[in-house]
Chain A
Amino acid sequence: MIRLENIHKSYVTGNNKLHVLKGIDLHIEQGEFVSIMGSSGSGKSTLLNILGLLDVHDEGSYYLAGRQIASMSETKAAQLRNEYLGFVFQSFNLISFKNAMENVALPLYYQKVSRKKRNLMAMDFLDRMGLKEWAEHMPNELSGGQKQRIAIARALISKPKVILADEPTGALDTATSYEVMEIIKEINGEGITVILVTHEHDIAAMTRKIIRLKDGQIQEIIRNGELGRFRHTYMKELETA
């Protein structure tokens, strides 16, 4: 589904050049459930942005669904995002003047789906999130968990191949975080690839594969079966902290 080969990315600010990603090689199969971990500045958000076509890599190759992503027009990138990718953000990023249903329906607007049809589909997705009766509510009338579930419904409505979640539980309390993670797990169960960025170990532990980044490089990849070892490292980290 996703293949990265020797991806480099630097940001230039004035005279300083910040080398954020220093050669990332990564292969993510269809239907995988992956988390990207790392301390701040390790490049995990930059990696997610490149995966999400929100940013362009400087060097290396990126293949999404077998298609090489090189410098492309913004219009093309927008179209690919709309077709293949769904985003879930830490701060939900719902449009404040649109109600829940309209927010969920928005990606379909850009696919030129008729208003009636997309609102119907939005209602269906809200129903799956258990938020049918909140459809007419504005984002500021909803709780964090509800907002994130609406954001997930919005990410799902365009039937993407990959869901990219940037700290999806970062703004939520533990109980709500677990609820949201349950939903994300379910989505993954339907065969959609999920990649999430988190710095919470318990959240990462719910995924099947953990990619740990350090200083712009992949430090280690921990698979589901090796989670025990991961817990061990995690305990050690806590001790040293």
Chain B
Amino acid sequence: MFDIDIWQEIFATIRKNKMRTFLTGFSVAWGIFMLMVLLGSGNGLSNGVSENFRNQSVNAMWIWTGETKMPYQGLKEGRPINFHNDDYELVKKMKGVGAASGRYFMGNSKLSYEGEYGEYTVMTCHPDLLEVEKYILEQGRFINQIDILENRKSVVLGKDISTAFFKEEEAIGKYIKINNIPFKVIGVSTEPGSTRNRTAYIPVTTAQKVFNGSNRIHNLAITNEGTTLEETKAIQENIKNTLAHKHRFDAKDDGAVGMFNMMERYLETQKIFQAIRIFIWIIGIGTLIAGIVGVSNIMLIVVKERTKEIGIRKAIGASPRSVIGLVLLESILITTLAGYIGLVLGTGLMELVNMFVEQSYEASKATSGGSGETIFRNPTVDLGVAAISTILLVVAGTLAGYIPAKRAARIKPIEALRDE
């Protein structure tokens, strides 16, 4: 099979039948090309969306309060539920809860620095909020445990506030006023994947003291340490039951406590992409099969066309095996070579697209201050898939050539040579 003569025979045949060979190869090249483009696009879409998710902890969970919708243990519906510091302590200690932060919203507050002032959102939090929300610290540090314990008047400014107040000046260590009470700037942060950074963060304990919040907390932001959808749901359920018990509302009441589980959404999205990927493989392989059937078809015609030649070869001593080899190897050679060209062109195109995507990503990153927005990222096919495709091609070539080769081997020299 690997002696040079048979290859010379095949190359001679291919050289003399360029158009036929080109048409045969084209269908396979096209199939692989489409498969690569589809897979690349699917990957790109999936990567892009995953990238957007990466800006947040995929295991983040938010818990907020509302009014009960169902009567429970003699208590009427429409009863407001409120979180307090002890709820934070309770949830933080629960199994499956990683980072946890309580939040107390002060609404829009007046922030001022020397002559400048503006209305911004002030959010009160625990140190763990950094981990839950994945804030990026441009300068300084975030709220820490000492700030909480000592009720320090520390503030982390969103980048937009810092820019508005301090321009080029160093912000860290300066004092700004929140509703006329001075706070020391300890850090400057940005939110990932956001173009607006107009929130200031202060320790929740300080806010409760200074702004008369007593021990109220508006909501909780935690990370859920479950790794599967089932686990995160179980943890979520557990939290809700605990809170229901403590605050005396029906655990089925979806008005009393609201919950948002990022993991759930993330996994759902992942599932969609998995489905898309399977769909793409089906389409891609379908296209490829069409190409292979095309090759098989053309090889059948080729065998028919070469009946006489094969008859001559047999008359002068070609064994059936050598005839099978001739047709089979030609088929494998054409599919593999053409498929490889399709593979290179397909991946090449996706690399080119990737280049443009990266450029536009960089551009959007530059304009939005640090983080780009995209739903299409790295639309390329990895080497493993390319390798599998190559193997698939050789197999395909063999399959495509097998029936025609068998038919060629069955040709009887007398029938082939009967006449013109």
Do these two chains interact? yes
Q: Which residues of A contact B (CB under 8 A)?
A: 49, 52, 54-55, 74-75, 78-79, 81-83, 86-87, 89, 91, 93-98, 102, 106-107, 109-112, 115, 154-155, 158
Question: Which of B164-172, B208-216, B318-326, B351-359 sits within the interface?
Answer: B318-326
Q: Give chain B residues whose Cβ lies under 8 Å from the Cβ of A115.
A: 4-5, 8
A158 touches B317 (CB 8 A): yes
Interface positions of B from 5 to 20, Cβ below 8 Å from A: 5, 8-9, 12-13, 16-17
B8 touches A111 (CB 8 A): no
> Apart from A102-B12, A109-B9, what are 14 other A-B pairs with CB-CB below 8 Å?
A54-B315, A54-B413, A55-B414, A74-B319, A78-B319, A78-B320, A82-B316, A86-B316, A91-B419, A110-B316, A110-B318, A115-B4, A115-B5, A115-B8
B412 is an interface residue with CB less than 8 A from chain A: yes
Q: Give chain A residues whose Cβ lies under 8 Å from the Cβ of B5.
A: 109, 112, 115
Q: List 15 A-B contacts (CB under 8 A).
A: A54-B315, A54-B412, A54-B417, A75-B319, A78-B314, A82-B316, A82-B317, A83-B317, A86-B316, A96-B309, A107-B317, A110-B317, A110-B322, A154-B316, A158-B316
Interchain CA distance A115-B321 in the complex, whole Å: 20
B17 touches A97 (CB 8 A): yes
Interchain CA distance A97-B10 in the complex, whole Å: 12
Least Cβ distance of B350 to chain A in Å? 39
Most buried by A among B315, B319, B321, B414: B315
B290 is an interface residue with CB less than 8 A from chain A: no
A52 touches B315 (CB 8 A): yes
B317 touches A78 (CB 8 A): yes
Q: Which 3 A-B pairs have the closest CB atoms?
A: A82-B317, A97-B16, A110-B317
B319 touches A87 (CB 8 A): no
Q: Which residues of B contact A (CB under 8 A)?
A: 4-5, 8-9, 12-13, 16-17, 308-309, 311-322, 409, 412-414, 417, 419-420
A91 touches B420 (CB 8 A): yes
Interchain CA distance A49-B420 in the complex, whole Å: 17
Q: Give chain B residues whose Cβ lies under 8 Å from the Cβ of A52.
A: 315
Q: Give chain A residues whose Cβ lies under 8 Å from the Cβ of B4.
A: 115
From the candidates B9, B13, B312, B412, name the one contacting A93 in the complex (CB within 8 A).
B312
Least Cβ distance of B135 to chain A in Å? 72
Least Cβ distance of A198 to chain B in Å? 16
Least Cβ distance of B389 to chain A in Å? 32
A95 touches B315 (CB 8 A): no
Q: Give chain B residues whose Cβ lies under 8 Å from the Cβ of A154.
A: 316
A95 touches B312 (CB 8 A): yes
Least Cβ distance of B397 to chain A in Å? 22
Least Cβ distance of A188 to chain B in Å? 20
Least Cβ distance of B374 to chain A in Å? 54
Q: Give chain A residues whose Cβ lies under 8 Å from the Cβ of B17.
A: 97
Least Cβ distance of B113 to chain A in Å? 88
Residue of B nearest to A115 (CB): B5
A81 touches B316 (CB 8 A): yes
A93 touches B308 (CB 8 A): yes
Interchain CA distance A55-B315 in the complex, whole Å: 11
Q: Give chain B residues whose Cβ lies under 8 Å from the Cβ of A89.
A: 417
Least Cβ distance of A156 to chain B in Å? 11
A81 touches B315 (CB 8 A): yes
B316 touches A87 (CB 8 A): yes
Least Cβ distance of A12 to chain B in Å? 15
Interchain CA distance A74-B413 in the complex, whole Å: 11
B420 touches A87 (CB 8 A): no
Interchain CA distance A95-B17 in the complex, whole Å: 13
Q: Give chain B residues whose Cβ lies under 8 Å from the Cβ of A55.
A: 412, 414
Interchain CA distance A112-B8 in the complex, whole Å: 13
Interchain CA distance A163-B320 in the complex, whole Å: 23
Most buried by B among A74, A81, A86, A91: A74
Interchain CA distance A82-B322 in the complex, whole Å: 13
Most buried by B among A78, A87, A154: A78
Least Cβ distance of A182 to chain B in Å? 23
Interchain CA distance A82-B309 in the complex, whole Å: 16
Residue of A nearest to B410 (CB): A74
B414 touches A54 (CB 8 A): yes
Least Cβ distance of A152 to chain B in Å? 13
Q: Give chain A residues whose Cβ lies under 8 Å from the Cβ of B12.
A: 97-98, 102
Interchain CA distance A83-B412 in the complex, whole Å: 19
Residue of A nearest to B315 (CB): A87
Least Cβ distance of A47 to chain B in Å? 12
Least Cβ distance of A88 to chain B in Å? 10
A95 touches B319 (CB 8 A): no
Interchain CA distance A95-B316 in the complex, whole Å: 12
Interchain CA distance A109-B10 in the complex, whole Å: 13
Q: Give chain B residues whose Cβ lies under 8 Å from the Cβ of A111.
A: 317
Least Cβ distance of A235 to chain B in Å? 31
Residue of B nearest to A93 (CB): B312
Interchain CA distance A109-B314 in the complex, whole Å: 12
**Contacts A54-B412, A78-B320, A97-B13: A106 and B313 contacting too (C-beta < 8 A)?**
yes
Q: Give chain A residues whose Cβ lies under 8 Å from the Cβ of B13.
A: 97
Q: Give chain A residues whose Cβ lies under 8 Å from the Cβ of B322.
A: 110
Least Cβ distance of A109 to chain B in Å? 6
B414 touches A106 (CB 8 A): no
**Contacts A54-B315, A78-B320, A106-B313: A49 and B308 contacting too (C-beta < 8 A)?**
no
Least Cβ distance of B301 to chain A in Å? 16
Q: Give chain B residues whose Cβ lies under 8 Å from the Cβ of A94.
A: 312
B417 touches A107 (CB 8 A): no
A79 touches B319 (CB 8 A): yes
Least Cβ distance of B413 to chain A in Å? 5
Q: Give chain A residues whose Cβ lies under 8 Å from the Cβ of B321.
A: 75
Interchain CA distance A89-B9 in the complex, whole Å: 23
Residue of A nearest to B8 (CB): A115
Least Cβ distance of B408 to chain A in Å? 12
